[in-house]
């Protein structure tokens, strides 16, 4: 569990830098991530009990964080290129 948070933070920073460097490709990456996360959320919601709900909520948080990092990188790129 200790390794999970640093890996998540590194992934978010990577996504931000990727969106800054390649804004168009990051949109495709964002849609790919959204598709995978929504599929996982659906599977998590179908599972019975607290574990399934927890998995769906965790994937939703990850999806929102990834979307925010990619959106922020593209927004910063737009500000710096003007």
Token output for 60: 């939703």
**Could you report the per-residue pLDDT of 16-71, keeping only the tens digit for each?**
999 999 988 999 999 998 898 888 777 776 766 787 778 778 888 888 999 999 99
Beta carbons of 15 and 28 less than 8 angstroms apart: no
Burial of 60 (0-12, 13-18, 19+ CB in 10 A): middle
Q: Give pLDDT, residue 47.
A: 65
pLDDT of 6 above 90: no
Burial class of residue 62, CB neighbours in 10 A (0-12, 13-18, 19+): middle
Q: Give the pTM.
A: 0.77
Q: Provide the pLDDT for residue 42.
A: 75
Q: Is the pLDDT confidence value at 3 over 90?
A: no
């Amino acid at each position: 569990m200790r390794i999970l948070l640093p890996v998540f933070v590194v992934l978010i920073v990577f996504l931000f830098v990727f969106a800054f460097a390649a804004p168009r490709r990051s949109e495709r990456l964002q849609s790919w991530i959204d598709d995978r996360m929504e599929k996982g959320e659906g599977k998590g919601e179908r599972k019975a009990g607290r574990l399934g709900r927890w998995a769906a909520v965790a994937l939703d948080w990850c999806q929102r964080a990834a979307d925010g990092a990619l959106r922020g990188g593209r927004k910063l790129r737009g500000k710096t290129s003007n």
